[in-house]
Amino acid sequence: MTGAETHAAAPGGAPAVPAGFERLTLGGPFIQNNGPLYVRREGSAVQFGFRVEQRHVNTLGNLHGGMMATFCDMLLPLSVHYKTTELAGRFLPTVSLQVDYLAPAHVSMWVQGEAAPLRITRSLVFAQGLVTADGEACARVSGVFKIGPATPPGAGD
């Protein structure tokens, strides 16, 4: 997606979610209260995104770093789930998360990320990704995740 792309307006005048994205129902109550997050699959690519709302910004009107970190903390393990069959359904708790904030995102911008596993060992997953805001790079992220137990049915992620 490029910064030049336009979005149809949703009810209330807010820009709509880009074509192909569906609301993500994983993540538990914290993500449901702080999202919503969306997912789009195109071939082997999987992308996650959300629209920046007023409640997501800091006092300067920029996307709050904590919201970006939360998004990245979902982006990496969920991308691993979607891209690897052996880890689908396994809980991947965060061991380490590194976020490099490259540029601010503002209210109504579409924040979108794509990530991939770099290495999977018997007990750990190493992954990295890039996040854009209206098509411009705004964060680079890498993380290490513990391969945990299978999530119980109905537990979300």
CB atoms within 10 A of CB 27: 19
Whether residue 133 lies inside any domain: the answer is: yes
CA gap 86, 32 in Å, rounded: 26
Omega before residue 18 within 30° of 0, cis = no
Number of domains in the chain: 1
Condensed to tens digits (0 to 9), the pLDDT of residues 25-50 reads: 876 767 777 888 999 998 878 999 99
Residue 11 inside a domain? The answer is no
Token pair, residue 130, equals 């890039």
**CATH code of the domain covering residue 73:** 3.10.129.10
Distance CA 88, CA 22 (A): 19
Residue 54 maps to a domain: yes
Q: Does residue 128 surpass a pLDDT of 90?
A: yes
Confidence (pLDDT) at 74:
93
Domain membership of residue 2 (yes or no) is no
User: Cα dist. 89→26, 33, 45, 75, 133 in Å?
Assistant: 11, 22, 19, 15, 29
Domain range for 90 is: 16-146
Quick check: is 128 in a domain? Answer: yes
Domain membership flag for residue 7: no
Question: Is 109 part of any domain?
Answer: yes
Residue 153 belongs to a domain: no
pTM, two decimals, is: 0.84
